């Protein structure tokens, strides 16, 4: 026999708000945003390396901290690679267009 499933409505107050886009300031360009993102990914990679080194040396006892740093760096790098792939795909598409 099939039982009824009761569905509760979602209260709008519990839904997190999406962050608003930062207002564009003069001088902010795609290259500067991309450069900042590259610096952030590099910083995450360096932090991950430092925590791994600390774990091997015995100065960091919390393995969760090491794993979180490694995962953050890995996810940021994967995002960077996907961004690069999309940019290359877009560039190739533009090059195929006939004017």
Cα–Cα separations (whole angstroms), residue 94 to 72, 81, 87:
33, 20, 11
**Angle at CA of residue 94, ends 89 and 99, nearest 5°:** 165
Q: Which of 46, 95, 36, 35 is nearest to 72 (CA)?
A: 46
Predicted confidence at residue 98, as pLDDT, reads: 83
HSE at residue 92, side-chain half, CA atoms within 13 A, is 6
- pTM, two decimal places: 0.66
Residue ranges covered by each domain of the chain? 45-99
DSSP-assigned states of every residue in 63-93: HHHHHHHHHHHHHHHHHHHHHHHHHHHHHHH
pLDDT (tens place) for every residue of the chain, 99 residues total: 566 766 555 454 444 455 566 666 666 788 899 899 999 999 999 999 999 999 999 998 889 999 999 999 999 999 999 999 999 999 999 999 987
């Amino acid at each position: 026999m099939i039982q009824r499933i009761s569905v509760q409505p979602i209260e709008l107050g519990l839904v997190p708000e999406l962050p608003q886009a930062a207002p564009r300031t003069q001088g902010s360009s795609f290259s500067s945003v991309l450069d900042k993102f590259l610096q952030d990914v590099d910083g995450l990679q360096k932090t991950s390396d430092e925590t791994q080194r600390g774990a091997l040396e015995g100065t960091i006892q919390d393995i969760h901290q090491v794993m979180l740093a490694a995962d953050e760096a890995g996810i940021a790098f994967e995002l960077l690679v996907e961004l690069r792939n999309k940019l290359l795909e877009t560039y190739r598409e533009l090059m195929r267009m006939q004017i």
